[in-house]
Chains A and B, each alone.
Chain A
Amino acid sequence: MSHRELEDMLGKGWRKPPFVSNPKLRWSLILGFVAYLVAAFMTIEVDWGRVYVGLDRGWAFILAFTSPDFTSRASDIWDGLLESIVMTVAASVVGILISIPIGLGAARNIAPLPIYLVCRGIVAVSRALQEIIVAILLVAIFGFGPLAGFLTLSFATIGFLSKLLAEDIEAMDKVQAEAIKASGARWLQWINYGVQPQVMPRLVGLSMYRIDINFRESAILGLVGAGGIGATLNTAFDRYEYDTAAAILILIIGIVMSLEYLSGIIRAKVQ
């Protein structure tokens, strides 16, 4: 390189080139963000007196974890937990079974355009609606009880699983699938031999993950009357029975942990 350039640069400072090179844009982004933060903090009303009083209760709650009370509301806890599990299992089975055809339909590389649009529409609607909002509507329609929860979870599973399955199919290795097609296979045979082996491990993994999510979600559906452990938990909080609440939370954490462990084993097996 020319030495003139070096001579020019020696003695000059050096700064890291900024992430956003346009200085006006950079400063307006920074200022905008700071202004937003200030505005956001100003509009949050915090009753510090109430928070201070609450600290004692918070501490009592943390202490409750050291002595959780599984016994005094054992039958409520047991019923709620069983209902959550029942809803999770039933909704996962139905949701997974429905999401497979929809996932196939939502993959552009194997479905014709009209079917693709319909399936993508279903996926979009299911994903845009929060579980809890769906649960509210379904409780209004079908009445209180686990049926509404079951339908909610199935519906949410369809959106989640179909989308990821469709993306996986769209990203699969085309050559393998073409080789099967070239052998003169029918459409179903083609799916069975060319597509299924490629996406199966991920489908199993995602299904396990969704079962995990369904269980966690089933714990809150009770808040709006859609069955499960949530109702018991809500009552416990309302009555300030922290030791019972702690017991329920410990059970939820424990089940989620064991589900994660189980799904780890199953995923390692299918891969």
Chain B
Amino acid sequence: MLRLQKLTKTYRTGDQALKEIDLEVGKGQVLALIGPSGAGKSTLIRCVNRLVQPTSGAVWLEDTDLTKLGSGALRRARREMGMIFQEYALVERLTVMENVLSGRLGYVGFWRSFLRWYPQSDIDEAFRLLDRVGLLHMADKRADELSGGQRQRVGICRALIQDPKLLLVDEPTASLDPKTSRQIMRLITELCRERRLAAIINIHDVALAQMFVPRVVGLRFGEIVYDGLPTGLTPEKLTDIYGEEDWEATIKKVEDEDEVEVEAAE
């Protein structure tokens, strides 16, 4: 469904963030993108919806090459791709409800959105989504009154109300505590399953990725160095991705912790 062909991004400073990336994501497939900081994870997902302009290569979303689109067509294409951000990126001075409804901006005209006159179906959907993530009672709170985990759930609602085919998730748990991180990851993967959404999740926490995601792609210096099952992430592979480190202990410890966590949750 999403296919990257020789996607390359060279910044004006001369740093080559992505080197001819080829990647395919099938319908409903959730994929975790791991790698050290600066490996190009953020650049990759921003190149997909062109918040960052790729230097060369193609991004095929179904039958359209996103890199060739003009601004109007790009906006229509962006509606198909929901994005979830690292620092939530909610508009802090707007209410939760406005933040969720802002996901519909691509579908409503300027004046309707300016006057907050959204179609009833959008409003119902916003209520349903807020209910699904357990924030219905917060609908009229201002976004900056929420805790980190709550904000990220609002961010998820905003992405889902777009009715996307693909979710682009940029470090969803980077500023959250471990417990909330797991809840958020679980929520994202559950929602993807419910709605048969494909997703690319940037994540630096290998353990979290292994716990929730069926396919892991490792990125290093703008190149794909691993693509496969989470169970295939052996210490050697991790060394390929992140460089030398004593992985044995890390993996083991994290896995043990997971068992406990899962048992406790159930």
A and B touch in the complex (CB under 8 A): yes
Please report the C-alpha to C-alpha distance between residue A85 and residue B191 in the assembled complex, in whole angstroms: 70
Please report the C-alpha to C-alpha distance between residue A13 and residue B131 in the assembled complex, in whole angstroms: 16
Partner of B124, one of A5, A10, A16, A17: A10
Taking CB atoms and an 8 Å cut-off, the chain B residues in 99-144 that contact chain A are 116, 118, 120, 123-124, 126-128, 131, 134-137, 139-140
User: Is the Cβ of A6 less than 8 Å from the Cβ of B131?
Assistant: yes
Nearest B residue to A5 by beta-carbon distance? B136
Asked if B97 lies at the interface with its beta carbon under 8 angstroms from chain A, I say: yes
Q: Please indicate the chain B residues that have their CB under 8 angstroms from the CB of A12 in the complex.
A: 123
Evaluate whether A1 and B120 lie within 8 angstroms (CB atoms) in the complex, with A16-B95, A16-B98 already known. no
Evaluate whether A9 and B127 lie within 8 angstroms (CB atoms) in the complex, with A1-B134, A14-B97, A17-B95 already known. yes
**Interchain nearest-CB distance for A4 vs B (Å):** 11
Asked if A3 lies at the interface with its beta carbon under 8 angstroms from chain B, I say: yes
User: Is the Cβ of B116 less than 8 Å from the Cβ of A15?
Assistant: yes
What per-residue 1/0 map shows which CB atoms of A83-99 lie under 8 Å from chain B? Answer: 00000000000000000
Please report the C-alpha to C-alpha distance between residue A9 and residue B130 in the assembled complex, in whole angstroms: 11
User: Is the Cβ of A1 less than 8 Å from the Cβ of B136?
Assistant: yes
Q: Please indicate the chain B residues that have their CB under 8 angstroms from the CB of A49 in the complex.
A: none
Please report the C-alpha to C-alpha distance between residue A12 and residue B97 in the assembled complex, in whole angstroms: 14
The DSSP consensus for interface residues of chain A is loop
Please report the C-alpha to C-alpha distance between residue A12 and residue B135 in the assembled complex, in whole angstroms: 17
User: Is the Cβ of A6 less than 8 Å from the Cβ of B137?
Assistant: no
User: Is the Cβ of B120 less than 8 Å from the Cβ of A13?
Assistant: yes
Please report the C-alpha to C-alpha distance between residue A229 and residue B120 in the assembled complex, in whole angstroms: 65
User: Is the Cβ of A17 less than 8 Å from the Cβ of B136?
Assistant: no
Please report the C-alpha to C-alpha distance between residue A3 and residue B130 in the assembled complex, in whole angstroms: 12
Asked if A11 lies at the interface with its beta carbon under 8 angstroms from chain B, I say: yes
Partner of B127, one of A6, A15, A16, A17: A6
Nearest A residue to B137 by beta-carbon distance? A1
Q: Please indicate the chain B residues that have their CB under 8 angstroms from the CB of A1 in the complex.
A: 131, 134-137
User: Is the Cβ of B136 less than 8 Å from the Cβ of A9?
Assistant: yes
Number of A-B contacts (CB under 8 A): 36
User: Is the Cβ of A16 less than 8 Å from the Cβ of B116?
Assistant: yes
Evaluate whether A11 and B124 lie within 8 angstroms (CB atoms) in the complex, with A1-B136, A1-B137 already known. yes
Nearest A residue to B124 by beta-carbon distance? A10
Q: Please indicate the chain A residues that have their CB under 8 angstroms from the CB of B131 in the complex.
A: 1, 3, 5-6
Nearest A residue to B135 by beta-carbon distance? A1
Q: Please indicate the chain B residues that have their CB under 8 angstroms from the CB of A5 in the complex.
A: 131, 136-137
Evaluate whether A11 and B95 lie within 8 angstroms (CB atoms) in the complex, with A1-B137, A6-B128 already known. no
Q: Please indicate the chain B residues that have their CB under 8 angstroms from the CB of A14 in the complex.
A: 97, 118, 123, 126-127, 139
Nearest A residue to B128 by beta-carbon distance? A6
Residue of A13, A14, A16 with most chain B CB atoms under a 10 A cut-off = A14
Please report the C-alpha to C-alpha distance between residue A10 and residue B137 in the assembled complex, in whole angstroms: 13
Q: Please indicate the chain A residues that have their CB under 8 angstroms from the CB of B124 in the complex.
A: 10-11
**Interchain nearest-CB distance for A13 vs B (Å):** 7
User: Is the Cβ of A13 less than 8 Å from the Cβ of B137?
Assistant: no
Which residues of chain B have a CB within 8 Å of any CB of chain A?
A: 95, 97-98, 116, 118, 120, 123-124, 126-128, 131, 134-137, 139-140
Which residues of chain A have a CB within 8 Å of any CB of chain B?
A: 1, 3, 5-6, 9-17
With A5-B136, A6-B127, A17-B140 already in contact, 4 other A-B pairs whose C-beta atoms are closer than 8 Å: A6-B128, A6-B131, A12-B123, A13-B123
- What are 26 A-B residue pairs whose CB atoms fall within 8 Å in the complex? A1-B131, A1-B134, A3-B131, A5-B131, A5-B136, A6-B128, A6-B131, A6-B136, A9-B127, A9-B136, A10-B124, A11-B120, A11-B124, A12-B123, A13-B120, A14-B97, A14-B118, A14-B123, A14-B126, A14-B139, A15-B116, A16-B95, A16-B97, A16-B98, A17-B95, A17-B140
Pick the 6 closest A-B CB pairs, nearest first: A6-B131, A14-B123, A1-B136, A16-B116, A9-B127, A17-B140
